[in-house]
Amino acid sequence: MAQAYLDNSATTRPCEAAIEAVTACLREGWYNPSSVYRPSVEAFRRVREAREKVLRAVRGEGCDAIFTSGGTEANNLAVLGAVNRMRGRQVVAVSAVEHPSVLAACEALERQGHDVRRIGVSLGGELDWEALEQALSDGASLVSVMQVNNETGWLLGGERLHDFVNGRALVHVDGVQGFLRVPFDMKWADLYTLSGHKIHGPKGVGALVVKKGVKLEPRQIGGGQEGGWRSGTENTPGILGLAAAIDAMLALGADMPERLMQKKLRLIRGIREAVPEATVNGAAPEASAPHIVNIGFPGVRGEVMLHALEGEGVYVSTGSACSSKKLKVSAVLTAAGLAPGRAEWAVRFSLSPHTTDDEIDYAAARAGELYRQLVRFQRR
C-alpha cells in the first residue's frame, strides 16, 4: 500500500546527515564538553560551531543561542524567564492561538499575579492590532506571538509585529513552525524559539536565541552550562544533529520555500478537485506559510477523516500534536471565530521539502474517495 506522510508539523523524518552526526557523536564524540582534556575540548568546539550555525540561520550575529531540550522548554524559558526577571506586576500580551507551551506559561504568570492579555486573531490570520495597542499602552513589557501558527499556517510574528511594537516591549517569537521554512531576522525579535525535530533533526533538542542585553531568570539551575541560563550537561549528540539538519535544510537552496509553496498549492488543487465542498480554514494559501494548510471536509468530523486516511496510509492530524489526544475541536480555530461545528471538520495537512508529488496526489485522491463514503453518514 502506498503511503503519504503529511504531518510534518508534528514531527519530521530525521535526515541522513542528522542521523550520521548523532551516531558519530555517540560512538566517538561522547565526551563531556565541560571537561578540560583534549577530546572534551573538541566536543566543546563542535557545540560552539553548532551554536554559530543556529545564529547565522536567523541572522542573529551578536546574539546568544541557548540549547534546550526542545521548543517547549525554550518557550518556557523565554516567557517565564523574561517576566520573572522583571520587578513588580507585569502586563504580558500573547496571541490567543499560541502553542500550549506558551499559553500554559502565561497561565502560570497569571497565578503569580501578572496581567496577561490574550490578543485575538481573525480567521484570516490578522492580529487584533487595537487590542495589542491597548496592551502596549497599558505598559506591556513582553509580547509573545508565534511566527507560524502550527494548525493554520498563519504568518503572525515577524517584521510587521516588530514595527508595530517599535521597542515598547520585549518581543518573543515562537519560531518552531517557521524556522528555515519562513525567513526570519533577529532584528525583528528579542527572543526566538526553534526545535530540531521540526526541520529533520533529532527530537530532544532546541534553542532559544536571545538578543544581547535581554535578561532572563533561569528555569533550570545547577552546573551553570549554557552561560548559566540552562544548567545540565549538554546534549551533544542532539546539538550536533540539529546543526547537521540546519546545514541540510540550507543546502536545499534559497528557493526552497517557494518550491514548498507550490507543493502546498498542488495539494489544495487536488483536494478541491476531489472534494469541491472542501474549504480552506485560514488565510489565503499564498498569504500563509508554505507548508501548512487546514482543510474543512463539511459533514465529516476531522477525527473520522484522519483515521480513514490512516487506513489508506495517509498520515495527517486534526491540530497540535501536543493536544490532539485531549481536544475534540480545535481551540485555535474556535478562538479565531470559526463555529465549533465547522471546526469539527478540520484536518491539518503539513508538508516538508521532501514531500513528493506522488504523495500529494495520492493523499488528495484518497481524501476524495473517502469523503464520498463518509459524508453519507453525516449527522443530521
Look at residue 322 in the predicted model and tell me its pLDDT: 56
- pLDDT less than 70: residues of the chain: 320-328, 378-380
Distance of CA 332 to CAs 5, 264, 344, Å?
Answer: 23, 21, 12
All structural domains of the chain, each given as residue ranges with its CATH number in brackets, are: 4-12+254-377 (3.90.1150.10), 16-250 (3.40.640.10)
Rounded CA gap, 287 and 291, in Å? 12
Look at residue 320 in the predicted model and tell me its pLDDT: 57
Rounded CA gap, 246 and 339, in Å? 39
Q: Give all strands of the β-sheet with 279-280 in edge-to-edge order.
A: 279-280, 292-296, 346-350
Look at residue 321 in the predicted model and tell me its pLDDT: 55
Look at residue 324 in the predicted model and tell me its pLDDT: 47
Look at residue 8 in the predicted model and tell me its pLDDT: 98
Cell reading at 18:
542528522
Any idea which residues carry the catalytic annotation? 322
114 DSSP assignment: -
15 DSSP assignment: P
Rounded CA gap, 102 and 85, in Å? 17
Cβ-contact 206, 194 below 8 angstroms: yes
Q: What is residue 148's three-state secondary structure?
A: strand
